[in-house]
Amino acid sequence: MSDSIDLLSIRPLLDTIGPYNEIPDEYNSKDALNALITSKILVIGAGGLGCEILKNLALTGFKDIHVIDMDTIDISNLNRQFLFGSKDVGKSKAEVAAKFVTQRLNDPNLHITPYFGKIQDKDIEYYKQFSVVVCGLDSVEARRWINATLVSISETSDIIPLIDGGTEGLRGQSRVILPTISSCYECSLDLISPRTTYPVCTIANTPRLPEHCIEWASVIRWPQVFPGQKFDADNPEDVEWMYTSALSRANAFGIDGVTKSLTLGVVKNIIPAIASTNAVIAASCCNEAFKLITNSNPILNNYMTYSGDDSIFTFTFELSKRKTCPVCGIVGISIMAQNWWSLQQFIDEITENKEVQIKQPSLTTGSTYLYLRNPPHLESITKPNLSKKLNTLIKPGDEILVTDPNLPMSLKLIVSFEGPENEPLQ
């Protein structure tokens, strides 16, 4: 029995228009089928979610699929990334996934083109060729980059929808982004949960959880034993030391639950991946791609959350555009600064701000460079500004333009001041 996709099996699905189709008089099943087999689809990510997405798209009838992933296969991937086997460890995820699906389906009309590298390697013209982009990423930075790129394309050319899926353990979400029309990924940046942190006093003196013991080994004990040496979570010897140190600490305080997998999860901020969650979210993403291309049913409007940890349920809502969104908004983000802040303190604050979340900021105004990280000679010229008070460098209401080498857009911050001129005593 062949696993190839017979178009005769797909045609009946398109002949019967969806009951909620808003333009039934304009729908044409032949046009829908032609769009399905001629549209060019890009999948970003070939990990746990990406493997499911790639398989589903091919089985749905898409014939021209491209996939990008910068990672290689690790043995820890094999429990859920089912397109890979032990013989593939060390190889490109994109290349192995594309080859597996192509060979398994044995469809001469199916073409899956892999790219082993970063999404930033490709230029604007590359992305313009696609009808839909589907993301199965585990990186906020990569999502922000592709979102801003597609919004910039859609402002001057045809709209390229972005379908984004994400999972965290037994929870996940999928969403449809119509650049310049619906809310974009950047609009929801403040919904992203920050990394869990623990008070230093707790992990140093009164640990109560296994995580406290692991954080103690990582934050306090490691620098004492190995001063100046960075912990390498991919080094088995480093991981073993971290685990045994945390376990010893836990035993001293009568705390159970320290395992090697939990140790890795804490130090690498890993959230366990669940194969069934990936399958649910990937199915949702691919359904939306199918509907977008064929116009057979209304698309998701525009954010679906899935929960499988406390019962099983989904919830769909329309996430509104944010006026202060730096990608699709119309006004800058208002930031209240303290009068006593230095430029460095201001930078520290905005890197933690949920609406900004930028790691390597360079700051300018319309008339001056506040701080530039590159090139080196401008960094040396502007570095003295870091110790100066911000309110001596700009005036209330001034706009600061913030850029980051990892993002293809700039953020506009509108700064106001409050509080005393001198730092209050604690």
Q: Report the alpha-carbon distance of residue 363 to residue 384 in Å, rounded.
A: 14
Q: Report which DSSP code applies to 189.
A: G
Is 171 exposed, middle or buried, given 0-12, 13-18 or 19+ CB atoms closer than 10 A? middle
Q: Is the dihedral of CA 287, 292, 293, 295 positive or negative?
A: positive
Q: Chain-centre distance of CA 303, in angstroms?
A: 15
Cβ within 8 Å of residue 60, ≥6 positions away? 10, 36, 286, 289, 290
The number of C-alpha atoms within 13 Å of 302 and in the hemisphere containing its C-beta is 20
Give residue for tokens 């990924």. Answer: 185
What's the order of all strands across the beta sheet hosting 64-69? Answer: 111-116, 64-69, 40-44, 132-135, 162-168, 171-177, 303-307, 313-317
Q: Verify whether residue 201 is a known catalytic residue.
A: yes
Nearest to 164 by CA among 305, 374, 21: 305
Q: Are strands 369-371 and 362-364 parallel, antiparallel or unpaired?
A: antiparallel
Catalytic residue among 51, 135, 184, 201: 201
Strand-pairing partners, residue 41, are 65, 132
Q: Distance between CA atoms of 321 and 301, rounded to whole angstroms? A: 13
Residue 66, phi then psi, degrees to nearest 5: -115, 145
CB atoms within 10 A of CB 32: 20
Cite the active site residues: 201
